[in-house]
Structure formats: C-alpha cells, structure tokens
Amino acid sequence: MADETRRLAAFAAGLVHEVIPATARARALDLIVDQIGVQLGCSDLPWARQVRDAYRCSGGTAEATVVRYGDRLPVIPAAFINSTFGHSFEFDDGNPLIHGHLGAELIPALMAVAERDHIPGRDFLTALVAAYEVRGHIGWALSPGMMEHGGPQYSTTCGPFGVAAGVAKLLGLGAEGICNALGIAGGYSGGLMQYDHGGGSVKRIYTAIAAASGMQAAQLAQAGITGPEEILEGARGLLKIHCPDYRPERLVADLGEKWTIELTRFKPYCCCGGIHPAIDGLAKLVSEHKLKAEVIESVEVSYAMGFHDHAAITAPHDLLGMQFSTSYSLALTVLTGRNTPGVYTMEALADPRVAAFAAKVTVRGDAELTRLFEGRQPARVRVRTTSGEIVEELVAHAKGSPGAPLTSDEIDEKFRSQAVDILGVRRSDELLRVLRHVDELEDMAALPAMLIAGQK
C-alpha cells in the first residue's frame, strides 16, 4: 500500500483546467451533451415521474432545478431526480474499462452544486474531469473481478467516491477535505445486482443513489466529519472487500497521464452495454447473408466471463428485464432493425414473434474472450440457419465503444433526438451550443432555465 486514497485526493484537489488534455476536455463535453439529452428524453417515463413525485414534495430551500419541469429543490433531491432521468432507460454512457454510468452519477450532482454556488463553467468542467478520473481509477482497480463475482453494482459501489471527490472540489475543501469525503463515501458504497436476473424499476435510481450519497459525503466532510484512512486500499477497504484480485496500484497508475474519460462509451442502443457487440454482430450477419427471422434456427452468443450472466434474462417480465435480455434485444434487432427507445415497449415484450425468436438465442461465457479482450466488452455471435449453414462474427469494438467511437456530431444528433420534442428545434440547438461551450459560462446558474420545457 502506498497511500493511494490520499494520492487520489491530492490529484483531484490539484487538477486545473489548463493541464487537462484537449482530448479529455472534448470527451467531457460529449459526456455533458449526451447526459443532458438523455435526462430530457427520459424525464417522462413512469419511474422517472414516480421518483420526481416522491422527492419534489419534501420541501426545503430552493437551490437547484429539476430538468424539464423546473421544480426548485435542495441540491440533493434535485440531483437525485435528474440522475434518475439520466439513467432511466439504459441509454446513457458507460465505460468498458471501469464500468458503471459516470455521466448520470456525476453530472447531476455537480450541476446542482454549481447552480447553487454560482460556479463558473470552467471550474465545473474541471471538477467533472477530476471526479471522473477518481471514479475511473477506482472502477478500474475493481475490474474485472467485481463483475465476474456478480457485484456489487459499479455505480452504487464506486459512484459515491467519484461524486464525493467532485463535489468536495467544487466546495473548495482541498486535498484533506477530499480525502475525508472519500472516507465518508465508503459508508455509502454498495448495491446488489439482482436486477439483471429479476428486473425491477429500482435499477433506474442506481446512479441517483451514487449522486446523493457522494453529495452527502462531501457536505459532511465540509461540516467536519472525518473518514477512515485507506478507505480504498486498506485491510477492510473497498478493494479487499469487493474484489478477489487486490490491485491497489491501479488506483493511481498513469494518473494524470492517461485519462479514463477518453474511454467513455456512448450508447446508440438503449439496452445493457454488454449486449451492444452482439447486436452489431447479428446485424452484420443478417445484412451480409440476407437472413430472415424464419430461416434462423439458432443464435449462440458468447461474452467474456461475468458479462454472460449480466445480460442473460430469458423470460423478462418488465422493460428493465427486456433491456438486460440478450435474447429479446436480438429479437428486436432482427424483427425491427432497431434497438432504440421506441422499440423497447410493453407491446414488444408481449409480442409472440419476439418471444419466439428470443427462444432461439442462447448465451454463454467464454474464458478466451476474457483473456484476449480485458478492458473491452466483446461478443461472438454464431448463427445456424434452417438449411444447416453456420456463420459467425466476432465483435471486439461495438459501435459507440472506444474502439469504434461515436463522433461529437453523432452525439449531437442523439441529443437532438431526445430534446427536440420537449424544447423544440430552436431551443434545442441553442442549448446544444451552450453545452458545447459550457466551460465559457461565467455562472452555471444561467444554464438551468434552458433545460425547462415551455414555449418551443
């Protein structure tokens, strides 16, 4: 051990805008655009409305704004609601190296505090990158062992630490304060992954749990509460408890030299990110070999170990389960040609044609894929036709992943697809322009008014 927690805290405290590489800043702006678009587009889903209803009636000082609706709430419930919006339909970002959904973990919390405290956009963006790197290195240190073990879930386990570091930086707590915030965040870390077997809408709030927990940790540190030393690397710390491979060196390896934010994956499909390479693989086989659903006898999908059990629900009973079902997602790929929000519906879930094709799909783990593609989420798709022909495709880089990234223009188009119905074309384009230059804002409190639905 080499005081990895303290070194992470010192990095976060000392990071300044000027030393962040242009590539990392650009990806941070992509992350903001993507996350705000998803918050807007998913803000009216049933569970999103339920969370808003549960938290907006709690009262308290008007400090931060709820996206789309304009409710003014204390920073923690506002961030909780917005984070739920941003993670409500498995359409938000991921990262194949560090896992979880950092945009929805970090951005709602940091935006709420930046709005309340009138933080300049430049400082907000710097805190976001600092928080991402702290959270990223923690997730990397737990990977792939925690995933192979079956959890706990990465956003609820690692997210509170990243949020705590970023909020503490915005609060000006310095390295010691950030270290205490990290220590306190350890008391909030955890979260079971049974949703990837049993469904349930509670998974929609997992990033919100991270956002609220990290904010509380930072505020408690500001008030003078202290945390234990070595919360990450210690004998009873995060890594020893949750990961069979104890690798504390990853907490600080290449810190400030290689940037995990540059590995952000942006989703073109609204389902579990591990399914995306299988979608790409099957779509390519269907296109190249002109395959129709009726001539496909079976589909075998191989994933790296751990991921095979994360996306293998065979009989989903709700939309969350459908989004974590390789078989149902691939049925949509073949039958509709899309895996976008409009096709993941209760009607599709009840469609006998979808169920019939899903029954042709099997999922397995492949240790070779684990060995060859660490830090990535590959899939091998093998199709057998009714005539006995066998075709297969290996996808190491799904569309939107670091190896096949979406461009900023494609992310902008995704944003428009989510925002235009709510804000209209003119306001969506103006918001997009501001988000693309958020580090030039003098006061982040000027941004929330642009996120509220109204006259288009």
What is the share, in percent, of the chain residues with pLDDT greater than 90?
90
From 12-16, 88-92, 168-172, 244-248, the region with the lowest mean pLDDT: 244-248
Q: Which of 82, 89, 90, 91 is nearest to 51 (CA)?
A: 82
> What is the structure's pLDDT at 58?
82
The Cα–Cα gap between 254 and 171 comes to 26
Looking at the predicted structure, is the pLDDT value of residue 456 above 80? no
Q: How confident is the model at residue 244 (pLDDT cuts 50, 70, 90)?
A: confident
How much is the mean pLDDT over the chain?
Answer: 96
> What is the structure's pLDDT at 144?
85
> What is the structure's pLDDT at 1?
57
User: 3-class SS at 365?
Assistant: strand
- The arithmetic mean of pLDDT across residues 382-408, rounded, is 97
- The arithmetic mean of pLDDT across residues 116-140, rounded, is 98
pTM of the shown model: 0.96
Q: Are the C-beta atoms of 116 and 64 separated by less than 8 Å? A: yes
Is residue 318 exposed (0-12), middle (13-18) or buried (19+ Cβ within 10 Å)? middle
> What is the structure's pLDDT at 59?
84
Looking at the predicted structure, is the pLDDT value of residue 22 above 90? yes
The per-residue DSSP string of 181-247 comes to HHHHHGGG-----THHHH--GGGGGHHHHHHHHHHHHHHHHHHT----TTTTTSTTSHHHHH-SS--
The one-letter amino acid code at 121 reads G
Q: Are the C-beta atoms of 56 and 230 separated by less than 8 Å? A: no
Q: Which residue has the higher pLDDT, 83 or 1?
A: 83
The Cα–Cα gap between 119 and 132 comes to 18
Q: What is the pLDDT of residues 130-177, one digit of tens each?
A: 999 999 999 999 998 898 888 899 999 999 999 999 999 999 999 999
CA distances to 10, 165, 172, 253, 258 from 20, in Å: 16, 17, 19, 17, 10
* For helices 408-423 and 22-41, angle between their N-to-C axes, nearest 10 degrees: 30
β pairing state of 64-65 and 390-395: unpaired
Looking at the predicted structure, is the pLDDT value of residue 450 above 90? yes
Contacts of 229 by beta carbon, 8 Å cutoff, 6+ apart: 5, 6, 183
Q: Are the C-beta atoms of 156 and 186 separated by less than 8 Å? A: no
Q: What is the pLDDT of residues 189-232, one digit of tens each?
A: 999 989 988 999 999 999 999 999 999 999 999 999 999 999 99
Q: Are the C-beta atoms of 184 and 217 separated by less than 8 Å? A: yes
The Cα–Cα gap between 214 and 220 comes to 10
Q: Which of 32, 21, 118 is nearest to 433 (CA)?
A: 32
Q: How confident is the model at residue 455 (pLDDT cuts 50, 70, 90)?
A: low
Q: What is the pLDDT of residues 280-334, one digit of tens each?
A: 999 999 999 999 999 999 999 999 887 778 888 999 999 999 999 999 999 999 9
Q: Could you tell me the sign of the dihedral formed by the alpha carbons of 441, 442, 447, 450, in that order?
A: negative
DSSP-derived letter for residue 30 is H
Looking at the predicted structure, is the pLDDT value of residue 449 above 60? yes
- The arithmetic mean of pLDDT across residues 24-46, rounded, is 98
How far is C-alpha 47 from the geometric centre of its chain's CA atoms?
18
Q: Could you tell me the sign of the dihedral formed by the alpha carbons of 339, 345, 346, 348, in that order?
A: negative
User: 3-class SS at 299?
Assistant: strand
> What is the structure's pLDDT at 331?
98
Q: Which domains does the chain have, with CATH numbers?
A: 4-263 (1.10.4100.10), 273-395 (3.30.1330.120)
> What is the structure's pLDDT at 169?
98
The Cα–Cα gap between 319 and 75 comes to 30
Q: Which of 79, 203, 99 is nearest to 147 (CA)?
A: 99
> What is the structure's pLDDT at 311?
86
Looking at the predicted structure, is the pLDDT value of residue 271 above 70? yes
N-terminal to C-terminal alpha carbon distance within the chain: 56
- The arithmetic mean of pLDDT across residues 96-102, rounded, is 95
Q: Which of 266, 7, 257, 22 is nearest to 125 (CA)?
A: 22
Q: How confident is the model at residue 44 (pLDDT cuts 50, 70, 90)?
A: very high
Residue 281 phi/psi, 5° resolution?
-65, -45
What is the share, in percent, of the chain residues with pLDDT greater than 70?
99
Using the structure block, give the residue that is written with the tokens 């956003």: 155
